[in-house]
Amino acid sequence: MTEAQAQPYELPSFEQASRKLAVMHAEQRNTISELQSMLRQRDDFLANISHQLRTPLSSIIGYSELLEGGQHNAIAANEEYLHALQDAARTILSILGDMPSLTAATPATWVPQTKAVDLRILVPQLEGFFTYEAKKKDLAFRIHWDEAIPSSLLADAARIRQVLLILTHNAIRFTESGRVSVDFSLQGLHPQRATLRVTVQDTGIGLSETQLHNLFSPSPEGRRFGRAGGNLLLAKQAVEWLGGKLQVESVLGQGSSFSFLLELPVAAQSAPVVEEKPAPPQQNTSTWSKLRVLVADDHAMNRDMLQAMLRKLGVVNTDTVSSGAEAIERCSSGRYDLVLMDCQMPDVDGLSAAKRVKLQPQNRALPIIGITADVLKLDKANCMAAGMEDSFTKPVSLATLGEILTRWGKS
């Protein structure tokens, strides 16, 4: 036997290690696959929620704009309710716009949205969300804004609003009588920085010492205490991400107070971003009086609303259909100057319908405008590839519709 043959044979232990390594790699692949599946489910969930909310929002904003300034506003209360309705709807819309950055998996992956802003915009937004909910429970709901707070601060308004929505929702949810208040107060002011304290206080069920200890726990034990669980943990993480600390004071049976301090840079007075309601178009609507428009949408309320909005903008020659197949058939006559096509219809979707309409020789130059509620997955290139000239997302406003008519409404 040679010297090489006499040495110990180590292959079995090497094979054993290789098998263990292969098992570890397989487990890692399974874990990665599960995480990817969870991310896809999250994205699908967000897209579905966005779609479900934007469709009714389209009707809310559209009908409220139609009522505003008309004979229905003869009673002062009606105008007040209309403004509240529009503020609430637009606040929901702005939250949907913030959703992609607000729903990142961990604070480490959050994207700052810091800009010069007047944080007073949060007051009507909170009122629009919670005034009605408080009234349903016969609660007093009050928001106090300290007038000494500078009107232009460098802040992440979307993240602050997210925290306030969570805290105020919980306060109303766990308060059966008495009041809920939100207080914005100036704690300190220097030439370059301002210190704000934000407090959400209620007279609700309160928390015991044990509940306070487990308040921000993401575990099942923590979720047993109504206020705990993912939403309050998210609020705590968001406040810390903003540079503050969420403080809680509570007495069982008497109520709770959640507060946090924010130290924010003071911005130039000319720089704040103020969310303003878009003004209706000032276009001379007589130029659209001869325009012939087809509206295709499977929701009857949306069809009626779009038709009414077109009339208000001076378009009197409109037809409506409830499916892509009907849109294709109607367009075969060649009598339309513009088509507003919902992209998501059950039988023949808007993209497929647009392709088939464009195959008709008389409609190759017909402007087709896609309307979608699926903003998170909207790919404008898909609309263009289907032969559409333009697209926009729900909810539809008079201003947006006026821009579309100005751009494409050539009768």
Residue 196 sits in a domain whose CATH number is 3.30.565.10
353 and 31 in contact (C-beta within 8 Å)?
A: no
- The DSSP-derived string for 336-402 is -SEEEEES--SSS-HHHHHHHHHTSGGGTT--EEEEES-TTT--HHHHHHTT-SEEEESSP-HHHHH
64 Cβ contact list (under 8 Å, min separation 6): 82, 85, 86, 89
242, 355: one domain:
no
Domain-embedded: residue 7: no
Domain that holds residue 223: 104-265
117, 236: one domain:
yes
Domain-embedded: residue 217: yes
Domain-embedded: residue 27: no
On the 0-12 / 13-18 / 19+ scale of CB atoms within 10 A, 138 is exposed
Domain-embedded: residue 56: no
259, 289: one domain:
no
DSSP state of 224: T
171, 215: one domain:
yes
Encoding tokens for residue 132? 């009605």
Domain-embedded: residue 151: yes
202, 306: one domain:
no
Residue-wise pLDDT tens for the chain (411 aa)?
555 555 555 555 767 777 888 888 888 888 887 777 667 656 655 654 565 566 556 656 766 776 665 544 455 556 666 766 776 676 676 666 555 555 555 666 677 788 899 999 899 888 877 887 788 889 999 999 999 999 999 999 988 988 898 899 889 888 999 999 999 999 999 889 999 999 999 999 998 888 888 887 655 444 444 444 457 887 888 899 999 999 999 999 999 999 999 999 998 765 455 555 555 555 555 678 889 999 999 888 889 889 999 998 999 999 999 999 999 999 998 789 999 999 888 889 899 999 999 999 999 999 999 988 765 555 677 888 888 999 888 778 888 899 999 999 875
* Number of domains into which the chain is organized: 2
- The model carries a pTM of 0.56
